[in-house]
Structure 1
Amino acid sequence: MRYPDTFYSRTLRDTHSRPTLTGVEEADVVIVGGGFAGLTTALELARAGKRVIVLEAESVGFGASGRNGGIVSPAFSGGDEAIRARVGSKAARELHRLSIEGVERLRATIADLKIDGAVTGEGLFSLRRFDRADDLKRHAEEFDRDFGYEMRYLDRTALADHLVSGRYHHALYDPRSFHIHPLNTLRGIAAEVERLGGRIFEASTATGHDLTGPAKRVVTATGRAEAQTVVFATGGYTGSLVPRLKRAILPIATYLTMSEAAPDLLASAIRTRASMYDDRRAGDYYRLVEGGSRLLWGGRITTRAASPEGIVRELRREMVGAFPQLEGLKIELAWSGLMGYARHLMPQVGEMGPGVWHITAFGGHGLNTTAIAGKVLAEAMLGESDRISMFAPFGLDWAGGAAGLVAAQLTYWKLQMQDRWRERG
């Protein structure tokens, strides 16, 4: 596949080569994982004056952290009803309030650090592919009443001002959500961690550890990091280093494509710079990028890595199904990454043992979730708040291992069939 010279492809190629850990390094906190969860936690701790070491097996933002849809919106993948069923209505409202705080926290971080090329657009349309709107309107009313968070309902006629498509019946528009270039954002956060004295080591896979006693050690092939506190933030790339974490995570692949430059053709279909996300269980999400000249389109999940060619065909089929006028649009770039999912579909944030913390399972959540989870984890580690207790009901439940992956794939196929049946009406 030909890789065009675009803003996105350049950042994929342009890796900042940081040193590999060699010898013995000491810090207050060692964080394993250089994605959004690990670097956000590192930033909050470094701002508080802690000496931080981040160990990254590949490079900053590797995998899904730096190559995802980039949507920042107040949501949890677990869903309103499931969250209420587990924690009750009051606690569910507090979690949603936390989710909203995460949106504004990431926006403030990007503004404060003046990260070039981070924010790529404002607004999010949540699109409905079947003809029912009462629950959408109720959701908007509840968010306005409970949180003072305003969303706007659009019927098919109003939506036509933004999208020229026969696929969608209804939508909610959220003007406070936004979307980012995730890899650029992570690189800006990493640079600030380093400016504050933090040290980030790339190509430094953690291969062993000793987490007993006051001085904890994390070992790599060429060195050792020592600290009183260790944080594991490995997400979809969680290996066997900490068996308890590995048992609690399902690695799920997600996929993205980018079109050729065709601004006039794209303008015939999409008349907004906002992001779009449809209502399917693993729905399509897309937006115009590069000044409106290219289309970024993501979707699909698999429990095993699929061929890029096959995924491109599937995503392109969805794109043309929504916008037949884009039949002639070519796809020039495709990539994927692994997300970490918990069985309960909520983030896992907590303390596994004295001085040993975890922050993981952000698959399917907006990037606001890592922003606020990193803040909440840092508050707990610094003794500033107990807000981390809101995540206590969502522990390190066993995800089912290989059988869990099979069950997840079967469940996804089942939900796809239910989506199609629902949309037939």
Structure 2
Amino acid sequence: MTYPDTYYRRTMTDGTVRAPLVRSVECDVAVVGGGLAGLTTALELARAGRSVTVLEAESVGFGASGRNGGFVSPGYATGGEEIARVAGAETARRLHMLSVEGMDFVRETIRALGIEEADPKAGLMSVLRYDDGASLRAYAEETRRLYGYALEYMDRDAVRAVLKSERYFQALRNPAAFHMHPLNYLRGLAREIERLGGRICEGSAATGADLSGPEKRVTTAGGQVRARDVVFTTGGYTGGLNARLKRAFLPIATYVMVSEEAPELIASAIATADAIGDNRRAGDYYRVVDGGRRLLWGGRITTRAASTGALVRELRAEMVGTYPQLAGLKTELAWSGLMSYARHLMPQIGRMSPGVWYCTAFGGHGLNTTAIGGRVIAEGILGTSDRYRLYAPFGLVWAGGLAGLAVAQLTYWKLQAQDWWRERAA
């Protein structure tokens, strides 16, 4: 599989190529998947003195972890009310606080490891495409009361002062949230894992696994890893190695494009360095990059193979519909990637059987949740906490296979229609 030509790949500062596994090795923990969940798990275990081997089918950050929007902010793809309905109010509160901790973990890791090339920028605006400031004020107050952090309310004039669009009304700004270069962050994690003695094997797809005994065995085309614990963190690119895991989520494609260099034109529409996301179910998300010289714009999801070119035309239509002044802004680069979504729209984090762990289904949750998933799995392996059990109400339920994909696509279209009508009624 060829790595897509993404903006992150072009601006990656560490091009280290790691050798594949070519022999039999022993370690404490084998991690299958070299994305953010897998690398965070491996980092936390290596920091605790455990020997770790990471098996990555392609290269570090190949999947969604290395080609997403780069947003790091609290919360989940599903709302707090639904989480509380399933898991109870107190568990919902603790889960949200874990997502806040994940955000803080990523920020502190960048600082502690000196990953300057991750280029973190503070601030994220969540904007409404219809007029309902009262609901945002109420949400901000609830967030302050339940979780102890402040969101800044922006009225329509304040929003349109920095986002020159008639599509937007009110917004909440989270000054503690941030956005970054995710692939450079992952490469920094990989360096630290190796400095601590961990092993990362690229080009090493797991082709077989014997998970039945106290010693687990994971095989690749070139070798074998024997370990007491195995962690599966493969996301949207999971193959058939672990059938129970594969059937528990849907691979969903999302799309991103990056503009040509046009700082003055971009500034005529977007006068903020904050990351932006709108309130639709699968809405637009975007941010200026390269010091304001380019615009990164993402959105749209599909449950089946789709032409990137056709989807980019739809993304451009969204961009120009929001900012007519950007009609002349050319797209220089576009790519897609597979995320994993569970039917319940929560991450899947837990223990499948003694010594067999999973940490996946992070589509729509952001880098903070992916990171905290890796941390709590590491804690579970180390025996320092059982916080991973907070995710137990959202386990490996069957996602529905082909029928599930069809339902997901129909649901997306239904939500798009609801968004359209709500905005027209505003």
Q: TM-score, normalised by structure 2?
A: 0.97
Query: Could you report, residue by residue, the CA deviation over 1:63-95 in whole angstroms, capped at 9, with x for unpaired residues?
Result: 211000010000111211210110111111111
Question: Aligned residue for 1:300?
Answer: 300
2:269 pairs with 1:257: no
Question: Aligned residue for 2:384?
Answer: 384
1:52-131 equivalence runs, <5 A:
52-131=52-131
Question: Aligned residue for 1:173?
Answer: 173
Query: Could you report, residue by residue, the CA deviation over 1:143-194 in whole angstroms, capped at 9, with x for unpaired residues?
Result: 1112221001111111122111100011101100000101000000011001
Distance in 2 of aligned mates of 1:205 and 1:33: 9
Distance in 2 of aligned mates of 1:403 and 1:67: 28
Query: Could you report, residue by residue, the CA deviation over 1:20-68 in whole angstroms, capped at 9, with x for unpaired residues?
Result: 1111011100000000110010000000000000000010000211000
Is residue 123–residue 173 contact of structure 1 (8 Å, CA) maintained in 2? yes
Letter matched to residue 166 of structure 1: E
Question: Aligned residue for 2:159?
Answer: 159
Higher mean displacement: 130-139 or 221-230: 130-139
Question: Aligned residue for 1:219?
Answer: 219
Deviation, structure 1 residue 9: 4.8
Is residue 273–residue 288 contact of structure 2 (8 Å, CA) maintained in 1? yes
Letter matched to residue 53 of structure 1: T
Task: Count how many residue pairs are aligned between Structure 1 and Structure 2.
Answer: 421
Question: Aligned residue for 1:280?
Answer: 280
Question: Aligned residue for 1:342?
Answer: 342
2:27 pairs with 1:27: yes
Is residue 119–residue 180 contact of structure 2 (8 Å, CA) maintained in 1? yes
Letter matched to residue 424 of structure 1: R
Question: Aligned residue for 1:231?
Answer: 231
Deviation, structure 1 residue 12: 6.1
Distance in 2 of aligned mates of 1:69 and 1:174: 17
Deviation, structure 1 residue 133: 2.2
Question: Aligned residue for 1:399?
Answer: 399
**Aligned-partner SS, 1:160:** helix
Question: Aligned residue for 1:311?
Answer: 311
Query: Percent identical across equivalent pairs?
Result: 63
Distance in 2 of aligned mates of 1:21 and 1:218: 11
**Aligned-partner SS, 2:163:** coil
Question: Aligned residue for 1:332?
Answer: 332
Is residue 217–residue 226 contact of structure 2 (8 Å, CA) maintained in 1? yes
Is residue 13–residue 184 contact of structure 2 (8 Å, CA) maintained in 1? no
Change (3 A) 1:392 1:299: same
Is residue 64–residue 254 contact of structure 1 (8 Å, CA) maintained in 2? no
Letter matched to residue 286 of structure 1: Y
Is residue 7–residue 290 contact of structure 1 (8 Å, CA) maintained in 2? no
Query: Could you report, residue by residue, the CA deviation over 1:245-304 in whole angstroms, capped at 9, with x for unpaired residues?
Result: 011010001111000000011110011000000001001000110010100000011112
Is residue 63–residue 336 contact of structure 1 (8 Å, CA) maintained in 2? no
Distance in 1 of aligned mates of 2:16 and 2:101: 30
Question: Aligned residue for 1:39?
Answer: 39
2:137 pairs with 1:137: yes
**Aligned-partner SS, 1:126:** strand
Deviation, structure 1 residue 134: 2.1
Question: Aligned residue for 2:352?
Answer: 352
Is residue 208–residue 220 contact of structure 1 (8 Å, CA) maintained in 2? yes
Is residue 215–residue 227 contact of structure 2 (8 Å, CA) maintained in 1? yes
Letter matched to residue 235 of structure 1: G
Distance in 2 of aligned mates of 1:309 and 1:22: 39
**Aligned-partner SS, 1:103:** helix
Change (3 A) 1:187 1:6: same
Letter matched to residue 135 of structure 1: S
**Aligned-partner SS, 1:58:** coil
Letter matched to residue 174 of structure 1: N
Unaligned runs of 5+ in 1: none
**Aligned-partner SS, 2:34:** coil
Distance in 2 of aligned mates of 1:335 and 1:117: 22
Unaligned runs of 5+ in 2: none
Letter matched to residue 201 of structure 1: C
Deviation, structure 1 residue 240: 1.1
**Aligned-partner SS, 1:228:** strand
Distance in 1 of aligned mates of 2:305 and 2:189: 29
Query: Could you report, residue by residue, the CA deviation over 1:100-123 in whole angstroms, capped at 9, with x for unpaired residues?
Result: 111111100111111132134110
**Aligned-partner SS, 2:161:** coil
Letter matched to residue 357 of structure 2: W
Higher mean displacement: 110-119 or 326-335: 110-119
Distance in 1 of aligned mates of 2:378 and 2:102: 14
Higher mean displacement: 277-286 or 87-96: 87-96
Change (3 A) 1:7 1:63: closer
Distance in 1 of aligned mates of 2:409 and 2:48: 42
Letter matched to residue 25 of structure 1: V
**Aligned-partner SS, 1:403:** helix
**Aligned-partner SS, 1:106:** helix
Query: Could you report, residue by residue, the CA deviation over 1:334-371 in whole angstroms, capped at 9, with x for unpaired residues?
Result: 01111011110111111111100000010000111011
Question: Aligned residue for 2:375?
Answer: 375
